Amino acid sequence: MDGRIAPQNLIKEVKAESVVVQPAFYKPLVFDVLTVLSAVVVSYFYKGFLAGGTSWLTMAVVLAVFYAFSSLQIFFTKSFGRRFSILVLEAIALVSFFYDLQPNFLLLAMGIVLVFLLWGEIASRYEYENGVKIKFFRVIKPVFRKITTALILLFLLLYIPHWNSGSIFISQDVFKSVYDPAANFAHTLYPQLDFTSTIDKLATDVTKQELQNDPAYQKLSSAEQDNEVRNSVDQFFKKYNMDNMATPITVGEPTYKVAYDVIFYNLNKWHAQSGDAFIAIWAIVVFFLLRGIAAIFWWIASLIAFLIYEILLAFDFMHIAGENVTHEVIEF
């Protein structure tokens, strides 16, 4: 060394560090988007349901998907502040296709939905954070119950602006989509009766069943038996039409239409007798009726949510880990 400083390259290339997005960021974001989108889909199909363009089966599938994504948020979103923001977006999304209603009315509907969604979230989060093991069905049960209450109240509120004396009941097409599965189920219990046939055929089948145990009927010839059945059916039609002049039935009329007309007529009669109180009474009846049906729906929706949960675990989209938590206690 002769005391000179070795030349140095002061302009040295530095590799730019690539920004890596952590899975903990984008995985909850994916579920946030899917949850809000499922709420938008519920709003879209419910508006179609009110117009008679959406079947009850389609509506049930859409709701089950929303239930699943909304309940799984318990496991994905650890920040309660972030979850609250998503709940607000869910409430907005659920009324998004009813933009033609009054803003104050929509704000009331969103507020009611948000209260129950938040209530369910807090209850389920408590179960999740205070359990030693993750008991899936126990964790999601509170949020499922509150989602159900929120949706029933929302659907009733959104139905009120569409209500009038001509739409006091669901449309005939929607009623048929509910009636047919119920009639097919009843047919499995009573194979000799076809509840999806015409009213005269059903009346004939019922009359034959009633006369089977009549000794006098059994002694008649085949032609006389047919004549006896025909007379009994004719008497049924005459008696029914005399008692229900507003909804007369005719030969060849589908049973679902007769059932619909009877319900529609009696609801209008009830409305005329009770006045404005009918809406409140009808809403209460429908609320508890839907709550009863929801008891069955919960199990189906919870199984779908559990299936998604297990698939995500199997594909390592998420995993279960243990953690030690320091817990303060009061001692004496």
Query: What pLDDT, on a 0 to 100 scale, did the predictor assign at position 20?
Result: 47
As given in the structure block, the two tokens for residue 70 are 């909304």
247 and 191 share one domain: yes
Per-residue pLDDT of the chain (332 residues; tens, 9 = 90+): 555 655 555 555 555 455 444 555 667 788 889 999 999 999 999 998 887 778 888 888 999 999 989 888 888 777 778 889 999 999 999 999 999 889 999 999 999 999 999 999 998 888 887 777 778 888 888 898 899 999 999 998 888 777 655 556 666 777 777 788 888 888 888 888 888 888 888 888 788 777 777 777 777 777 877 787 788 877 877 777 766 656 677 777 888 888 887 777 777 777 777 766 777 777 788 788 888 878 788 788 888 888 888 888 887 776 666 666 554 443 43
Query: What pLDDT, on a 0 to 100 scale, did the predictor assign at position 324?
Result: 61
27 and 152 share one domain: yes
* Sequence-distant (≥ 6) Cβ neighbours of residue 116 within 8 angstroms: 146, 147, 149, 150, 153
Domain assignment present for 330 = no
Picking from 274, 304, 323, the residue at the C-terminal end of a domain is 274
Q: What span, in angstroms and rounded, lies between the C-alpha atoms of 186 and 226? A: 25
Domain assignment present for 12 = no
Helix (H, G, I), strand (E, B) or coil at 137: helix
Give 75-84's long-range contacts (Cβ < 8 A, gap of 24+): 75/128, 75/134, 75/309, 75/318, 76/27, 76/28, 76/31, 76/32, 76/318, 77/28, 77/31, 77/32, 80/125, 82/28, 83/121, 84/118
Helix (H, G, I), strand (E, B) or coil at 212: coil
Asked whether 108 and 157 are in contact (CB, 8 A), the reply is yes
Range of the domain at 236: 172-274
Query: What pLDDT, on a 0 to 100 scale, did the predictor assign at position 242?
Result: 67
Domain assignment present for 156 = yes
Q: What span, in angstroms and rounded, lies between the C-alpha atoms of 290 and 178? A: 13
As given in the structure block, the two tokens for residue 27 are 């995985």
283 and 156 share one domain: yes
pTM comes to 0.67
At 187, which amino acid appears? H
Query: What pLDDT, on a 0 to 100 scale, did the predictor assign at position 19?
Result: 47
183 and 267 share one domain: yes
Picking from 224, 247, 274, the residue at the C-terminal end of a domain is 274
192 and 216 share one domain: yes
268 and 284 share one domain: no
Domain assignment present for 258 = yes
Query: What pLDDT, on a 0 to 100 scale, did the predictor assign at position 21?
Result: 47
Concatenated DSSP letters for 64-128? HHHHHHHHHHHHH---HHHHHHHHHHHHHHHTGGGTTS-HHHHHHHHHHHHHHHHHHHHHHHHHH
190 and 255 share one domain: yes
Domain assignment present for 216 = yes
128 and 155 share one domain: yes
Q: What span, in angstroms and rounded, lies between the C-alpha atoms of 165 and 57? A: 26
Picking from 274, 298, 325, the residue at the C-terminal end of a domain is 274
189 and 302 share one domain: no
Query: What pLDDT, on a 0 to 100 scale, did the predictor assign at position 315?
Result: 79
Domain assignment present for 236 = yes
213 and 266 share one domain: yes
59 and 106 share one domain: yes
116 and 146 share one domain: yes
The tally of domains found in the chain comes to 2
Domain assignment present for 189 = yes
Query: What pLDDT, on a 0 to 100 scale, did the predictor assign at position 39?
Result: 95
Domain assignment present for 329 = no
